[in-house]
A = this chain, B = another copy of it.
Amino acid sequence: MAKSDIEIAREARLLPIEQIAAGLGIPADKLYRYGPTKAKLDLGYIAGLKDRPDGRLILVTAMTPTPAGEGKTTTTVGLGDGLNRIGAKTMIALREPSLGPCFGLKGGAAGGGYAQVVPMEDINLHFTGDFHAIAAANNLLAALIDNHIYWGNEIGIDTRRVTWRRVVDMNDRALRQIVSSLGGVANGYPREDGFDIVVASEVMAIFCLATDLEDLTARLGRIVIGYTAERRPVRASELMAAGPMTALLRDALMPNLVQTLENSPAFVHGGPFANIAHGCNSVIATRAALKLADYVVTEAGFGADLGAEKFFDIKCRKAGLAPDVAVVVATIRALKMHGGVAKEELGRENVGAVQAGLSNLGRHIGNVRAYGVPVVVGINRFTGDSAAESEAVMAFCRELGVDCFLNNHWAEGGAGIEAMARRVAELADSGQARFQPIYEDELPLFEKVQKVARTIYGAEDIAADAAVMKRFAQLEADGFGHFPVCIAKTQYSFSTDAAAKGAPTGHIVPIREVRLSAGAEFVVVICGEIMTMPGLPRVPAANAIFVNGKGQIEGLF
């Protein structure tokens, strides 16, 4: 029987984090250590690197996934290890996993098999406390809002129009919608309220887009927490919230340095939701990694239509990053699913279905190329895949002029992905990339969405009712028209219908709602249902989690 992720992780020979840092030229006194194998890196030290040249930036994205995910993180980690194996000095930059979901459905988010970042129990649970700090900052602002109302509401906040919600890092459906401030005069003015999971907080998005402490404070102050009765937006700065929120986030803003099973250095920092936020690790970590290594491998949430699009159009645009190459991860399972095979049948060889599903992969490849970024396809190999199935993908990619590699990093670590690593490094060094976002800042908000829908989703058009159009107009009038759009839609299809597999065309993308993230500096455009607070399943993973006699956590995987 195959070893579990946690068994593999426990067998790893971890190096002291000082040694990992030394490999990057980081002096030990610039580390703020959390135990022997985790450390935060001093922000002043990072700022001092600004005149160094940047390394190459490599994005790992994916085709439209199955609910199990196609192994973007595993590929990111494996590719980083593979690059280091071939002598390319490489860092990995990943998002931090959210604690709450670990107690819901089985599975963490630190990679898998022989391509993991470690210590995985720590990374999956409290890690260095960043998400707790983000929750505290979010909830301090919430408390300041209700406290202001309680003490006379000088600003005139309309209690029906408070948009700022509280957060908790737990899958807790009971908190999605509540009435707060019940119980009489001493507890304030009752109003409708609710909790999101921490990763859905705008504070998380701001945290990941901020370039330093000063920028963080400025962005926090610009958060719009709700409106007055006259519809004037109320900012967090009016509640004097940006200072204390920054105090709560100060240490968290230092990126977290860990290592892979093969001792490659990795930043794991920030973890915004990929639907109502941009789904990429922090700008600070990515930028620091580019100064510390010759190659940086990073990933973006969901499939390329969501993750890569936001990585390019939000993160790279805002942070001035220019990716050199992208890897689109594919799996035989996902291709068969897009070829019309039912979940139960995905384990059975079906070359025809793989071929039918390639339309999905093909569109993602074209999309990434549309951003001016060279593409490589990496098949994340599963034990049940047949040679004929893989060969169908290879043939397809050959026709498109894209290199495709059958990677076995899950089973073999970096050695299983060396061939792709060589090609990725070659492409990154080739100077082929001509990165540009898909739309200009100046384009009206509606047209930005239209552009993404048509170019990336293959949609015929978008649709919006009068209320949505009015909201766009209001946002533009309020001076937010130059923001990029952050589109929230299902990750299971190019359309807004999760059941529409492959590469649908001719569909219309209906906009349900528009939300402003004034501090993160994007406009969230919601197309379909979005979930900002998950629930626990009937049999939660929590049931199997415990600490064994050796003090080790069991059941996390």
Contacts of A183 in B (CB 8 A): 176-177
Count the A residues whose beta carbon is within 8 Å of the partner chain — how many? 73
A384 CB within 8 Å of chain B = no
* A510 interfacial by beta-carbon distance below 8 Å: no
Residue A243 CB within 8 A of the other chain: yes
With A146-B172, A187-B176, A187-B177 in contact, is A547–B126 under 8 Å at CB?
no
A25-42, CB < 8 A from B? 32-36
Q: Is the CB of A217 within 8 A of B247?
A: no
- The chain B residue sitting closest to A184, CB to CB, is B177
Interface string of A272-314 (1 = CB under 8 A from B): 0000000000000000000000000000000000000000000
A173 beta carbon closer than 8 Å to chain B = yes
**A130-159 contact mask (Cβ, 8 Å, vs B): 1 or 0:** 001101100110111011001100000000
Give the docked Cα–Cα distance between A545 and B542 (Å).
Answer: 38
Q: Are B144 and A173 in contact (CB under 8 A)?
A: no
Q: Which of A163-171, A223-231, A425-433, A492-500 contacts B (4 or more CB under 8 A)?
A: A163-171
Give A557 Cβ to nearest chain B Cβ, in Å: 12
Is the CB of A241 closer than 8 A to any CB of chain B?
yes
Docked Cα-Cα span, A246 to B549, in Å, equals 12
Cα separation A173 to B144 with both chains bound (whole Å): 10
Nearest-Cβ distance from residue A138 to partner chain B, whole angstroms: 10
Bound complex: CA of A19 vs CA of B315, how far in Å?
43
A99 proximal to B (CB < 8 A): yes
What is the CB-to-nearest-CB distance from A245 to chain B, in angstroms, rounded to a whole number? 9
Please name all residues of chain B whose beta carbon is closer than 8 Å to the beta carbon of A544 when the two chains form the complex.
243
Which residues of chain B are near A99, meaning CB under 8 Å?
136, 248
Query: What's the least CB distance linking A219 to chain B, in Å?
Result: 14
Q: Is A474 in contact with chain B by the CB < 8 A criterion?
A: no
The residues in A between 521 and 554 inclusive whose CB is less than 8 angstroms from any CB of B are: 535-536, 538, 540, 542-547, 551, 553
Residues A172 and B546 in contact, CB atoms below 8 Å apart = no
Chain B residues within 8 Å of A555, by CB: 243-244, 247
Q: Which of B143, B213, B248, B545 contacts A244 (CB 8 A)?
A: B545
A56 to chain B, nearest CB (A): 31
Also in contact, A44 and B551, with CB within 8 A (given A129-B129, A129-B132, A172-B139): yes
Total copies of the chain: 2
State whether A542 touches B176 (Cβ < 8 A).
Answer: no
- On chain B, the residues within 8 Å of A341 by CB distance are none
CB neighbours (8 Å) of A241 from chain B are: 542
- B146, B248, B546: the one within 8 Å of A246 (CB): B546
Task: State in angstroms the CA–CA spacing of A538 and B153 once bound together.
Answer: 11
Distance of A139 Cα from B135 Cα, bound (Å): 13
Within 8 A of B (CB), among A410-444: none
In the complex, A233 has a CB within 8 A of chain B: no
Report yes or no: B186 in contact with A547, Cβ–Cβ below 8 A.
Answer: no
A553, B250: Cβ atoms closer than 8 Å:
yes
Chain B residues with CB below 8 A from A187, complex form: 173-174, 176-177
Check: A359 CB closer than 8 A to any chain B CB.
no
CB proximity to B under 8 Å, residues A13-61: 32-36, 43-44
Contact A139 B168 (CB under 8 A): yes
Which residues on B sit within 8 Å (CB–CB) of A547?
Answer: 213, 217, 243, 246-247, 250
**A146 in contact with B129 (CB, 8 Å):** no
Given contacts A32-B35, A213-B551, contact A132 B143 (CB under 8 A): no
Assess the A144–B246 pair: CB atoms within 8 A: no
Most buried by B among A43, A99, A246, A546: A546
A249–B99 alpha-carbon span in the complex (Å): 13
Offer 28 A-B interface pairs, CB within 8 angstroms, sorted by A.
A32-B36, A33-B34, A33-B35, A122-B251, A125-B247, A129-B132, A139-B168, A139-B172, A140-B542, A142-B172, A144-B540, A146-B174, A173-B181, A173-B186, A173-B188, A174-B187, A176-B187, A177-B187, A213-B547, A213-B551, A217-B546, A242-B546, A243-B543, A244-B546, A246-B547, A247-B547, A247-B555, A247-B556
- Give 7 new A-B contacts, CB below 8 A, not counting A34-B35, A151-B538, A178-B178: A132-B132, A136-B169, A147-B536, A166-B168, A178-B181, A244-B543, A246-B546
User: 6 closest Cβ contacts across the A-B interface?
Assistant: A243-B546, A177-B183, A132-B132, A146-B174, A244-B542, A244-B545
State the A residues within 8 Å of B (CB).
32-36, 43-44, 99, 103, 122, 125-126, 129, 132-133, 135-136, 139-140, 142-144, 146-147, 150-151, 166, 168-183, 186-188, 193, 213, 217, 240-244, 246-248, 250-251, 535-536, 538, 540, 542-547, 551, 553, 555-556
